């Protein structure tokens, strides 16, 4: 087992730069989540983050990568995802198309074999990039860039390690978390057509794997036991909830809104959450609050005019379901 010093995560606001499809944003670790990340690093186990949608589960992984100076990798799980997709992908349709095109040409048998070599259609998945960046990059080039290459931070090296976000794992069948558990436990996986297994490179720290769930499907008990678990709970009382929202809003928008707007938006969100809960529906959360403030600050730069604008647009961000009376 690889050992390394476990850094202390900062509790001050972190600016997360735009990278790939992820927009620029701001994150602040609370003490509980900072300790959860450190514990996962020390145990070299995945960190399973539970919480309702919009509670900041995915952003926590990005923030951990930024704080630790690591590469950020992300894989969003869907109903058809398989554990193999996290390791590698094979483009059989492209190979079939090339075979049909070459059959119509005048290629020698040797040219056909070389072009249709299965390794030319093999792309590294997120775990491959996390385990062994160098071999993943070579394979990426060999496959003519059939999949996207992760964007590492400036001056990043594989020796700095990575943070892998596996988002919404509860959307997949049980085979995916079970397969992931085996891969992480072994620190290696095999790939067809390659003579050697992909394993964590000697100079690479064990990746920090952050897994999120929205609790849409129960996860296998054996999988949960092998994870450290962080429960992101929103405050239960109205006053604490509103205070938490205001703090989150000011973290993102500072003095671009008057306190009245922060509080009014938070109070309205609390009311809409209660109404949604009464209907047995998922209520709005942090994400909707930030969306609402972004609308207000984008459409009206004058703080004096923002309260009136808030009243006009708040329903679009907060009321996601039809009224209870139809």
pLDDT of amino acid 240 = 95
- Give how far Cα 238 sits from Cα of 18, 88, 242, 274, 318, Å: 33, 47, 6, 10, 17
Where residue 280 falls (left for φ over 0; alpha for ψ -120 to 50; beta otherwise) is: left
For residue 323, being part of any structural domain is answered with no
For residue 8, being part of any structural domain is answered with no
Query: Which of the two residues, 207 and 54, has the higher pLDDT score?
Result: 207
Q: Does 234 score more than 90 pLDDT?
A: no
pLDDT of amino acid 85 = 93
| Whether residue 124 is found in the same domain as residue 242 | no
For residue 62, being part of any structural domain is answered with yes
| Whether residue 150 is found in the same domain as residue 291 | no
Q: Are 173 and 192 in contact (CB under 8 A)?
A: no
For residue 13, being part of any structural domain is answered with no
Query: Which of the two residues, 22 and 221, has the higher pLDDT score?
Result: 221
| Whether residue 204 is found in the same domain as residue 275 | no
| Whether residue 47 is found in the same domain as residue 195 | yes
For residue 29, being part of any structural domain is answered with yes
pLDDT tens string 279-319: 888 888 888 999 999 999 999 999 999 999 999 998 887 77
pLDDT of amino acid 317 = 78
Query: Which of the two residues, 2 and 145, has the higher pLDDT score?
Result: 145
Reported as a pLDDT band with limits 50, 70 and 90, residue 144 is: confident
SS3 state of residue 165: strand
Boundary of a domain, candidates 177, 211, 231: 231
Provide, rounded to the nearest whole percent, the portion of the chain with pLDDT above 70. 98
Reported as a pLDDT band with limits 50, 70 and 90, residue 18 is: confident
pLDDT of amino acid 325 = 61
**Arithmetic mean of pLDDT, 239-264:** 94
pLDDT tens string 61-71: 999 999 999 99
For residue 110, being part of any structural domain is answered with no
pLDDT of amino acid 294 = 94
Residue 224's domain is classified under what CATH number?
A: 3.40.50.300
For residue 106, being part of any structural domain is answered with no
Q: Does 136 score more than 80 pLDDT?
A: yes
Helix ranges (H only) for the chain are: 31-43, 57-68, 92-103, 109-115, 126-131, 133-142, 175-186, 221-225, 238-253, 259-278, 286-299, 306-318
Provide, rounded to the nearest whole percent, the portion of the chain with pLDDT above 90. 62
pLDDT of amino acid 326 = 53
| Whether residue 196 is found in the same domain as residue 77 | yes
pLDDT of amino acid 3 = 56
Boundary of a domain, candidates 176, 197, 231: 231
In the chain, DSSP finds a helix count (H) and a strand count (E) of: 12, 11
pLDDT tens string 160-177: 999 999 999 999 988 999
pLDDT of amino acid 324 = 65
pLDDT of amino acid 302 = 94
Where residue 7 falls (left for φ over 0; alpha for ψ -120 to 50; beta otherwise) is: beta
For residue 162, being part of any structural domain is answered with yes
pTM: 0.87
| Whether residue 133 is found in the same domain as residue 162 | yes
How many domains does the chain fold into? 2
pLDDT tens string 179-230: 999 999 999 999 999 988 999 998 899 999 999 998 888 999 999 999 999 9
| Whether residue 158 is found in the same domain as residue 199 | yes
Reported as a pLDDT band with limits 50, 70 and 90, residue 4 is: low
Boundary of a domain, candidates 210, 231, 252: 231
| Whether residue 194 is found in the same domain as residue 255 | no
pLDDT of amino acid 195 = 86
| Whether residue 227 is found in the same domain as residue 242 | no
| Whether residue 211 is found in the same domain as residue 84 | yes
Task: Give residue 248's domain range.
Answer: 238-318
| Whether residue 80 is found in the same domain as residue 170 | yes
Query: Which of the two residues, 54 and 82, has the higher pLDDT score?
Result: 82
| Whether residue 254 is found in the same domain as residue 168 | no
Q: Are 61 and 163 in contact (CB under 8 A)?
A: yes
């Amino acid at each position: 087992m690889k050992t390394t010093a476990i850094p202390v995560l900062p509790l001050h606001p972190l600016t997360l730069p735009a990278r790939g499809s992820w927009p620029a944003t701001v994150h602040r670790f609370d003490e509980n989540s900072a300790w959860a990340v450190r514990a996962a690093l020390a145990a070299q186990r995945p960190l399973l983050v539970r919480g309702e949608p919009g509670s900041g589960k995915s952003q926590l992984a990005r923030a951990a990568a930024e704080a630790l100076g690591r590469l950020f990798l992300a894989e969003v799980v869907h109903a058809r995802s398989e554990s193999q997709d996290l390791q590698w992908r094979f483009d059989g349709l492209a190979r079939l198309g090339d075979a049909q095109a070459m059959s119509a040409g005048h290629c020698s048998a040797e040219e056909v074999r070389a072009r249709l070599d299965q390794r030319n259609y093999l792309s590294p998945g997120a775990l491959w990039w996390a385990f062994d960046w160098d071999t993943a990059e070579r394979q990426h080039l060999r496959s003519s860039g059939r999949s996207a290459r992760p964007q590492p931070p400036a001056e990043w090296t594989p020796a700095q390690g990575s943070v892998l976000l596996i988002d919404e794992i509860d959307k997949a069948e049980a085979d995916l978390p079970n397969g992931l558990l085996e891969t992480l436990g072994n620190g290696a996986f095999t790939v067809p057509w390659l003579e050697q297994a992909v394993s964590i490179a000697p100079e690479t720290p064990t990746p920090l794997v952050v897994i999120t769930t929205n609790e849409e499907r129960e996860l296998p008990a054996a999988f949960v036991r092998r994870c450290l678990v962080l429960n992101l709970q929103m405050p239960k009382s109205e006053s604490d909830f509103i205070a938490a929202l205001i703090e989150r809003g000011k973290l993102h928008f500072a003095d671009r809104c008057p306190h009245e707007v922060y509080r009014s938006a938070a109070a309205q969100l609390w009311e809409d959450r209660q109404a949604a809960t009464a209907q047995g529906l998922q209520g709005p959360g942090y994400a909707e609050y930030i969306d609402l403030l972004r609308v207000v600050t984008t459409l009206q730069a004058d703080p004096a005019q923002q309260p009136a604008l808030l009243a006009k647009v708040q329903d679009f961000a907060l009321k996601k379901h039809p009224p209870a009376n139809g």
